[in-house]
Amino acid sequence: MKTLIVANWKCNPTTLSEAKRIFDLVKKGVDKIENKKKVEVVVCPPFVYLSSFKFQVSSFKLGAQDVFWENPPAGGGAFTGEISAKMLKNLGCGYVIIGHSERRKYFKETDETINKKLKAALENGLKAILCIDKKSQIKNALKGIAKKQFKNLILAYEPVFAIGTGKPCSIEKARKMNFLIRKAVKINIKILYGGSVNSQNAADFIKKAKFHGLLVGGASLKPKEFVKIVKTM
């Protein structure tokens, strides 16, 4: 299994030129890494920058930070402001983050809408990264999703107290949660850790807490730091 390193830029940066600068530096840094066959890097910028990066990605994949739950046959429809899974797929996205705790908190996303978004993403061939903070969020989110689609499903354990605080979860607790989540899903899928990951602690979450990858917020906007994280893998 490849180690998956996902950059979640969240609502940053504010200009396309800055987005391009970060993207170019990350790309250059990742391109230079030798022996990166065992790592998959995914960059998830805000929707508005995705099309600018579509043709520039070679050494890593593009991802989105959210997707609309409706799955209209033509991939579009009368849903003002929304972005469908088909649009993301056609734009070259391979991944989409779903159910991030910030979306649950500020946009009142529920297990039900998250479940619908997961289905729309998986049905359109996107790899879906389901973010959870508690084990209890798994069951409803995965309701009605066929086991055969689990191959494109990734879980990300992101304890809310660790997000953007500079206080990551302890390796011991993270390792325990990783084990409990694995037991709850009963199937061998990738589980990532997210929350105040940096180049100092990244390797421990993989080697000691046994995660299959990382979901990186703040540090992913600092190209040098992000490339360092990828290198430690």
Binding site for ligand 13P (CB under 6 A): 8, 100, 158, 163-164, 194-197, 215-219
- Smallest gap from residue 8 Cβ to ligand 13P (A): 4
Tokens of 125: 């061939």
Q: What region does 57 belong to: left with phi over 0, alpha with psi -120 to 50, or beta?
A: beta
Catalytic choice (40, 102, 109, 158)? 158
Whether 212 is catalytic = no
- Smallest gap from residue 115 Cβ to ligand 13P (A): 20
Catalytic choice (40, 100, 102, 109)? 100
Nearer residue to ligand 13P within complex by CB, 45 or 195 = 195
d(CA 216, CA 212): 13
Whether 100 is catalytic = yes
- Smallest gap from residue 143 Cβ to ligand 13P (A): 23
Nearer residue to ligand 13P within complex by CB, 30 or 132 = 132
Nearer residue to ligand 13P within complex by CB, 6 or 85 = 6
Q: Please tell me whether the peptide bond between 159 and the residue prior to it is cis, using omega within 30 degrees of 0.
A: no
- Measuring CA to CA, how many Å separate 84 from each of 24, 46, 110, 200? 27, 14, 18, 37
d(CA 160, CA 158): 6
Nearer residue to ligand 13P within complex by CB, 77 or 164 = 164
Query: For 130, which DSSP code?
Result: E
- Smallest gap from residue 81 Cβ to ligand 13P (A): 22
* Greatest CA separation for the chain: 48
227 HSE (CA, 13 A, CB side): 17
Residues with catalytic roles: 100, 158
